[in-house]
Structure 1
Amino acid sequence: MAYSVGQVSGFAGITVRTLHHYDKAGLLPPSARSPAGYRLYSDADLARLQQILFYRELGFSLDEIVTILQDPQANALDQLRARHRLLTEQMAKLQRLLDVAERAMEVQRTGVELTPRERFEVFGEVTFDLSYATDAHLKWQHSEGHQRSMARAAAHTKKDWARIMAEAAAWRHRLTAVFDADEPADGEAAMEVAEEHRQHIMRWFAPCPTDMHGRIADDFAADPRAFALVVPPSEQRPGLAGFLRTAVHANAVRRGPAPEQP
């Protein structure tokens, strides 16, 4: 069966101009011509075109494809091996670039300038979800408090972060102890734990008025990615994020609306 250039273009998802180019390059001359001189392609031509598109997808030049198709048994395997090595090298290079880009994004979104090894040593199970860090940055990027917090975070040394995480771990222990003891979320013990968290934020990052602390706690309850920044999944309990949110808001009511001093 013979196919017109337009039909082959539709089958293959390439342009008529590309087929004309393949013909002129000697890569895919049509098997026949119509009485009017139009190109006509056979099933064998379509099979050859499929091979051409396969090699093009792998990045081979037209000259390389011509060489392969002239003697496929002698050249194809060696050519494919060489292409495989090249693609593997390119993938490794791209992965390195991707790692650098992700590292740069993470620093920009979290403000934590530590190497991956330092992060593991300092943070352990507490990890930054880059998608959440990006969402949070977009949400709060114009907030003076967020900008100040990012600047403070970027200025912290590895030693600072070790102290911050030790303090946070002790706080988590007290939070889960109060929760496990079935203390009321709006009770004195829970509010003290909530206030301790607010003081931690102010001590290490930025001023945190009670209304801002309430918004932070709302995020903890609404988004597991946010809560995982303060309580890793292995230490969480069902309802703990909501418990902390209630305690934070109760603490805000207890303390009243007076503004915090920088």
Structure 2
Amino acid sequence: MRVKEVADLVGISVRTLHHYDEIGLLVPEKITETGYRLYSDDNVEVLQQILFFKELGFPLKKIKEIISSPSFNREEALELHRKMLLEKRSRLDKMIATIDKTIKHSRGEIQMSNKEKFEGFDFSHNPYEQEARERWGDKAVDEANAKIGKSKEEQEAMSDAMNAIYRKLATLRNDSPESEEAQAAIKEWFDFLNKMGNYSLDAFKGLGQMYVDDERFTKNIDQFGDGLAKFMCDAMAVYADKNKKQK
């Protein structure tokens, strides 16, 4: 199949397929003398795998690493996709039910408790912990976890403080990341992170870059305001560079 046929079959743009080819994620079976990309059935199967990973929030760089690995097993990956999608569906079903109940509550048809208003939301686990362990090692993550309050009340207070900083930064996201207000707020974020772990200025700057490189982080942070992840990335880089010069 030619690139346009694949794009129409899947429902993605030709430009997306060109991009996947350019970064070596999905290279067509052959290119004709006239420059047409031709895709095989094997290419289509790989594309399906890529889009499953993408649906689950994996960044393209990580997808390429996974499917290029000699140990990659397509059937095992599909089983994992299925499990993760079922879990995602379960969470979404709960949230849809909560929305339906909230609509009825707003109309005065039923009464909802405060607890019922948040059914389906789950912030009790850290979806990035395993990735953090792979990036920085078990010791760093264990030390960070040890610094987090063990009681439920302490964990809730920590979560509230974190969300407050996100909300503050979200109100500044259309300003310059170099502004005095932005740098004061991003310092709060730096200080907060160092209550849980041990972040050098370089690590802080690297974390900010991850906010835009990893689609999962971007999506999570931008819930507080579109463009917040990019703003935080820029502000964190400014903060790190500025404070390294002062040392």
Q: What TM-score do the two structures reach when normalised by structure 1?
A: 0.43
| TM-score of the aligned structures, taking structure 2 as reference length | 0.46
- Structure number with greater Rg is 1
